[in-house]
Structure 1
Amino acid sequence: MNFFQEPQSTQMKEIFSRLPKKLNKGLSLILGLGTAASVGLSAPKPAEALPFQDLIVPGIQYFQLSNLSTKEKVKLGSNIHQQVRSNYRVGTNANITRIGQKLVRSSSCSQTPFKFYVVQDPSINAFATTGGYVYVHSGLINAADNEDQLASVIAHEIAHICNDDLIGKLRQAQLAQGAASLAGLNGSKLTAVAYQLAVDLPNSREAEFNADAKGLQYLQRAGYDPNAMPAFLKKLVNRSSAPAFLSTHPNPRERISVLERKIANNR
């Protein structure tokens, strides 16, 4: 099942087309040549390298991203977190953690040690990386009418991690570039690429609908009102100025329709 549901030769073109030229060039260099380009971010702190000797097939030096253990995903998520901290004001919040852990217990990857953070940013947004790292913007927290609506967003982000969506993006990037060109890509450079894919580039349409579906299940299992998920989307759509993130996601009205059908059919 292809990530962008297109031939591999065009998958990375779509990723690159969403970047400004400067970032495009930086990401191309990192993916293709293994250079130390900064991908347009503020100078990140050096990230500790993953144990790639365990991730490389002898002879062809091909990173086995599909076989990462939970421990290795957590390590990659921790490395990405250092870059998130370099670029955002990040903190913790007891209520967000409580809601998040309640949802994790109802998820399909409760063995992952999840961590929840608040990004001090007035924009309405949230994102997830890998290994249990979930981030919610303060603007989104303020926009939610109640805990159920806030939980619906957190459940969606948890689902992205349970579905290994960032790892899937990395695999597709790797396949598109070819194993040989990645032979020199070390842990810190992989972290930079993973940050770019997780924070700055959107997920595929398929990944977003899958995260909606799983997130809805987690929401219901945790005892929250499932109607909160389409209700919050409706609220955002009806704002005088729709949040920017909606432009990089599938049509929100279609998402709302699909969610309401699933709730009606108890799926």
Structure 2
Amino acid sequence: MLHRKKNRWLYGCMAGITAISINLATPTVSQAGWLDNILRGVLIWGVQSYQISNLSDADEMDFGKQIHNEIIGSRQGQVQLYNNTKVVNYIEEIGERLAANSRRPGIDYRFFVVDDDSINAFATMGGYTYVNTGLIEAAANEAELASVIGHEIAHIEEKHSIGQMQAQARNQGLLAAAGLDSSQIVQLGVAIAFDYPHSRSDERDADDLGFELLTKAGYAPDAMASFMTTLMNESGGNGGSSFLSTHPGTAERIDTLQKNADDYVADSDYTKGSFHDIGLNEQHYRNKISPLQ
């Protein structure tokens, strides 16, 4: 009898969980008061599940930290952080200057230097931005480097990694009514950082918002177009730069960015040598990154 009662209890729980899953898949107006709380985290068989489209800033930062630990841990040998204090502090200063103008003040932005000669940068959810030593050396000045960091911050602001995560989870058949568990989110986050380039639409959005961050921080408005032009010319297209190969439509984007810069100069109080031209001193920049040379 006791055994049968336990079975009935277990079947009842399973039926209840199934009913909740069905209800989540087809929400009604009457559920609106409590549905958000359910979607943010459902405890099923001891595993926390999340609706990735509804993550709080705190959740996103927590997953960003877990993705970061995975990137520098299990992928050790592929991603090694560069830890020279002078260079790292300099990159952090630039990043914080740009992030001060972010539309997402609840995010704690973090900046890291990757010890890698390839010209590349990337960002993950939750405020984590990574810049290769190769890209730092390739930039002519601080403004050009800031343009790349601003572009990556923009991806975080627009939650592009989360959008990619939703798409990949759907393609891989991982999406369920309850959402994704934490381990799935972390593994998808790592894969997206390395294996899935942003769409042209995401890149255009990041260009526009990155340009806004760049100019609000006082950097020269043509720095983004200038750096992309240099990389494209040196590589003969997209082949010689990881940054360009994972950021599609380079020539078209350069034209748009240059137009943005020209319009900004025409429509603002911009004058050469003013506040808007910080970061153009090449010798100052080379001194700041001297340990790399």
Same fold (TM over 0.5): yes
Aligned partner of 2:142 among 147, 154, 158 = 147
- Which of 64, 69, 90 matches 2:81? 90
Who is 2:160 aligned against?
165
Letter in 2 for 1:67: N
Q: 1:71 to 1:184 in 2, by over 3 A?
A: closer
Read off the aligned partner of 2:230 and give its amino acid letter: K
SS at match of 1:157: helix
CA offset digits 1:9-52 (Å, max 9, x no partner): xxxxxxxxxxxxxxxxxxxxxxxxxxxxxxxxxxxxxxxxxxx9
Give the match for residue 222 of structure 2.
227
Partners of 1:191 and 1:168 in 2: CA distance: 14
Aligned AA (1:75)? D
Deviations 1:180-208 (A, max 9, x none): 66869532232111110122210111001
Match of 1:55? 41
Does the 8 Å contact 1:144/1:150 carry over to 2? yes
How many angstroms apart in 2 are the aligned matches of 1:53 and 1:255?
Answer: 38
Counterpart code for 1:128: A
Structure 1 residue 194 corresponds to structure 2 residue 189: yes
How far apart, CA to CA, are the structure 1 residues paired with 2:107 and 2:176? Answer: 31
Structure 1 or 2: more helix by fraction: 2
Secondary structure of 1:238's counterpart equals: helix
Q: Does 1:245 align with 2:243?
A: yes
Match of 2:21 in 1: none
8 Å contact from structure 2 (residues 49, 179) kept in 1: no
**Aligned partners of 1:62 and 1:182 also within 8 Å:** no
Give runs of aligned pairs for residues 99-178 of structure 1, distance below 5 A: 99-178=94-173
Note closer, same or farther for the CA distance 1:264–1:63 as it changes in structure 2 (3 Å cut): same
3-state DSSP of counterpart to 1:134: strand
Distance in 2, Cα, partners of 1:159 & 1:190: 21
Amino acid corresponding to residue 121 of structure 1 in structure 2: D
> Corresponding residue for 1:72?
59
Distance 1:249 1:172 in 2: 18
Q: 2:24 maps to which residue?
A: none
Distance of 1:173 and 1:119 partners within structure 2: 26
Deviations 1:109-163 (A, max 9, x none): 2321011000000000000001110000000001011000000000000000000
Contact kept in structure 2, 1:148 and 1:224, CA below 8 Å:
yes
Deviations 1:54-91 (A, max 9, x none): 43498xx9742111000000011000001111221114
Note the aligned Cα RMSD (angstroms): 2.5
Percent identity of paired positions between Structure 1 and Structure 2: 40
CA distance in 2, matches of 1:206, 1:184: 25
Whole-Å Cα distance in 1 between the matches of residues 124 and 215 of structure 2? 23
Contact 1:104 1:158 (C-alpha < 8 Å) held by counterparts: yes
Pairs within 5 Å for 1:4-83:
54-56=40-42, 63-83=50-70
8 Å CA contact retained: 1:174, 1:182: no
AA of the residue aligned to 2:81: V
Residue identity in the other structure for 1:102: R
Structure 1's unaligned 5+ residue stretches are 1-51
When Rg is computed on C-alpha atoms for both structures, the one with the higher figure is: 2
Return structure 1 stretches of 4+ with deviation > 6 angstroms.
Answer: none
Q: Secondary structure at the match of 1:249?
A: coil
Q: Which structure is richer in relative contact order (CA contacts within 8 A, separation 6 or more)?
A: 1
The secondary structure found in structure 2 opposite 1:135 is strand
Contact 1:118/1:136 (8 A) holds in 2: yes
